[in-house]
Protein backbone atom coordinates (compact mmCIF):
# COMPACT_ATOMS: atom_id res chain seq x y z
CA UNK A 1 0.00 0.00 0.00
CA UNK A 2 1.38 3.39 -0.96
CA UNK A 3 2.29 5.66 1.91
CA UNK A 4 2.54 8.72 -0.29
CA UNK A 5 -1.18 9.20 -0.81
CA UNK A 6 -2.30 10.89 2.35
CA UNK A 7 -5.11 13.06 1.01
CA UNK A 8 -8.18 13.27 3.18
CA UNK A 9 -10.65 12.02 0.59
CA UNK A 10 -9.00 8.92 -0.83
CA UNK A 11 -7.47 6.03 1.02
CA UNK A 12 -5.01 3.80 -0.81
CA UNK A 13 -7.22 0.87 -1.53
CA UNK A 14 -6.44 -2.74 -2.42
CA UNK A 15 -9.94 -2.89 -3.87
CA UNK A 16 -10.13 0.26 -6.01
CA UNK A 17 -13.58 -0.65 -7.31
CA UNK A 18 -15.25 0.81 -4.20
CA UNK A 19 -16.54 4.34 -4.77
CA UNK A 20 -19.26 6.42 -3.13
CA UNK A 21 -21.74 5.15 -5.71
CA UNK A 22 -20.91 1.44 -5.74
CA UNK A 23 -22.63 -1.10 -3.46
CA UNK A 24 -21.29 -0.99 0.08
CA UNK A 25 -18.82 -3.80 0.80
CA UNK A 26 -20.60 -4.54 4.08
CA UNK A 27 -23.47 -6.19 2.23
CA UNK A 28 -26.29 -3.82 3.12
CA UNK A 29 -28.45 -2.68 0.23
CA UNK A 30 -26.94 0.80 0.01
CA UNK A 31 -24.20 2.67 -1.81
CA UNK A 32 -20.86 2.89 -0.02
CA UNK A 33 -21.05 6.67 0.27
CA UNK A 34 -24.45 6.51 1.99
CA UNK A 35 -23.55 3.50 4.15
CA UNK A 36 -20.14 2.82 5.71
CA UNK A 37 -18.47 5.55 3.67
CA UNK A 38 -20.17 8.29 5.69
CA UNK A 39 -18.59 6.90 8.86
CA UNK A 40 -15.16 6.50 7.23
CA UNK A 41 -15.28 10.11 6.05
CA UNK A 42 -14.57 11.34 9.58
CA UNK A 43 -17.08 14.15 9.42
CA UNK A 44 -18.62 13.29 12.77
CA UNK A 45 -21.11 10.62 11.73
CA UNK A 46 -20.73 7.54 13.91
CA UNK A 47 -22.34 4.14 13.65
CA UNK A 48 -25.50 4.09 15.78
CA UNK A 49 -25.36 0.39 16.61
CA UNK A 50 -22.64 -2.15 17.29
CA UNK A 51 -23.68 -4.08 14.18
CA UNK A 52 -23.31 -1.02 11.96
CA UNK A 53 -19.93 -0.30 13.54
CA UNK A 54 -18.90 -3.89 12.81
CA UNK A 55 -20.05 -3.53 9.22
CA UNK A 56 -18.19 -0.24 8.82
CA UNK A 57 -15.02 -1.81 10.23
CA UNK A 58 -15.31 -4.67 7.77
CA UNK A 59 -15.73 -2.12 4.95
CA UNK A 60 -12.66 -0.30 6.27
CA UNK A 61 -10.67 -3.49 5.80
CA UNK A 62 -12.00 -3.70 2.23
CA UNK A 63 -11.02 -0.14 1.34
CA UNK A 64 -7.81 -0.19 3.39
CA UNK A 65 -8.79 2.49 5.90
CA UNK A 66 -6.51 1.62 8.82
CA UNK A 67 -7.08 5.01 10.44
CA UNK A 68 -10.78 4.29 10.78
CA UNK A 69 -10.06 0.89 12.32
CA UNK A 70 -7.78 2.50 14.90
CA UNK A 71 -10.18 5.27 15.84
CA UNK A 72 -13.05 2.81 16.30
CA UNK A 73 -10.94 0.61 18.61
CA UNK A 74 -11.31 0.87 22.39
CA UNK A 75 -8.29 2.71 23.85
CA UNK A 76 -7.62 -0.19 26.26
CA UNK A 77 -7.11 -2.72 23.46
CA UNK A 78 -6.15 -0.54 20.48
CA UNK A 79 -2.83 -1.48 18.85
CA UNK A 80 -0.27 1.28 18.35
CA UNK A 81 -0.26 0.80 14.62
CA UNK A 82 -2.13 -1.35 12.17
CA UNK A 83 -0.64 -2.60 8.94
CA UNK A 84 -3.26 -4.00 6.63
CA UNK A 85 -2.07 -6.79 4.37
CA UNK A 86 -2.57 -5.52 0.81
CA UNK A 87 -2.46 -9.14 -0.37
CA UNK A 88 -5.71 -9.95 1.40
CA UNK A 89 -8.94 -9.16 -0.41
CA UNK A 90 -12.06 -9.25 1.72
CA UNK A 91 -14.86 -10.75 -0.30
CA UNK A 92 -17.96 -10.86 1.89
CA UNK A 93 -19.47 -10.34 5.31
CA UNK A 94 -22.25 -12.29 6.96
CA UNK A 95 -23.67 -11.24 10.33
CA UNK A 96 -24.56 -14.38 12.27
CA UNK A 97 -25.98 -12.80 15.40
CA UNK A 98 -25.96 -9.83 17.73
CA UNK A 99 -26.70 -9.11 21.39
CA UNK A 100 -27.57 -5.67 22.74
CA UNK A 101 -25.51 -2.99 20.96
CA UNK A 102 -28.44 -0.72 20.13
CA UNK A 103 -28.89 2.97 20.85
CA UNK A 104 -30.11 1.93 24.32
CA UNK A 105 -27.08 -0.13 25.32
CA UNK A 106 -23.55 0.52 26.49
CA UNK A 107 -22.23 -2.84 25.30
CA UNK A 108 -22.94 -5.29 22.57
CA UNK A 109 -21.63 -8.29 20.70
CA UNK A 110 -21.64 -9.20 17.03
CA UNK A 111 -20.83 -12.63 15.64
CA UNK A 112 -19.90 -12.64 11.99
CA UNK A 113 -18.13 -14.50 9.24
CA UNK A 114 -15.83 -12.55 6.93
CA UNK A 115 -14.61 -14.18 3.73
CA UNK A 116 -11.33 -13.39 2.09
CA UNK A 117 -8.95 -14.38 -0.65
CA UNK A 118 -5.21 -14.40 -0.17
CA UNK A 119 -2.60 -15.66 -2.58
CA UNK A 120 -5.13 -17.55 -4.65
CA UNK A 121 -6.67 -19.26 -1.62
CA UNK A 122 -9.99 -18.35 -0.14
CA UNK A 123 -10.91 -18.58 3.49
CA UNK A 124 -13.37 -17.46 6.10
CA UNK A 125 -12.93 -15.99 9.56
CA UNK A 126 -15.68 -16.28 12.16
CA UNK A 127 -15.38 -13.99 15.16
CA UNK A 128 -17.49 -13.16 18.19
CA UNK A 129 -16.64 -9.48 18.76
CA UNK A 130 -17.30 -7.31 21.80
CA UNK A 131 -18.14 -3.63 21.53
CA UNK A 132 -18.57 -0.82 24.02
CA UNK A 133 -19.00 2.92 23.92
CA UNK A 134 -16.17 5.43 24.11
CA UNK A 135 -17.14 9.11 24.27
CA UNK A 136 -20.61 7.97 23.27
CA UNK A 137 -19.56 6.20 20.07
CA UNK A 138 -19.38 2.45 19.55
CA UNK A 139 -15.85 1.02 19.55
CA UNK A 140 -14.44 -2.46 19.10
CA UNK A 141 -13.00 -4.07 22.25
CA UNK A 142 -11.85 -7.56 21.29
CA UNK A 143 -13.07 -10.84 19.94
CA UNK A 144 -12.75 -14.57 20.19
CA UNK A 145 -13.11 -17.28 17.68
CA UNK A 146 -15.95 -19.72 18.40
CA UNK A 147 -15.53 -23.36 17.54
CA UNK A 148 -17.87 -24.61 14.89
ZN1 LIG B 1 -21.92 -0.46 4.63
Q: How far is the CA of 135 from the centre of ligand 1 (A)?
A: 22
Q: How far is the CA of 11 from the centre of ligand 1 (A)?
A: 16
> How many Å apart are CA 114 and CA 118, to the nearest integer?
13
Q: DSSP label at 59?
A: H
Q: What is the pLDDT of residues 54-71, one digit of tens each?
A: 999 999 999 999 999 999
- Cα–Cα distances in angstroms (integers) from residue 136 to residues 17, 44, 90, in the given order: 33, 12, 29
Q: How far is the CA of 2 from the centre of ligand 1 (A)?
A: 24
Any idea what the CATH number is for the domain that residue 83 is in?
Answer: 3.10.450.50
Would you say residue 92 lies in a domain? yes
Helix (H) or strand (E) holding 123: strand 121-134
Task: State the total domains in the chain.
Answer: 1
Would you say residue 1 lies in a domain? no
Would you say residue 102 lies in a domain? yes
- The stretch 9-29 carries a mean pLDDT of 77
First to last CA, the chain: 34
Q: What is the pLDDT of residues 88-106, one digit of tens each?
A: 999 999 999 999 999 999 9
Would you say residue 76 lies in a domain? yes
> How many Å apart are CA 139 and CA 10, to the nearest integer?
23
Q: How far is the CA of 119 from the centre of ligand 1 (A)?
A: 26
Amino acid sequence: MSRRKTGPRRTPAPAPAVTADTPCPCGLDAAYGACCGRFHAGTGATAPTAELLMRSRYSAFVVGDAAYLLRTWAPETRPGTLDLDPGTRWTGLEILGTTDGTAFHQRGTVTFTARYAHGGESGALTEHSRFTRHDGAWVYVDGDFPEH
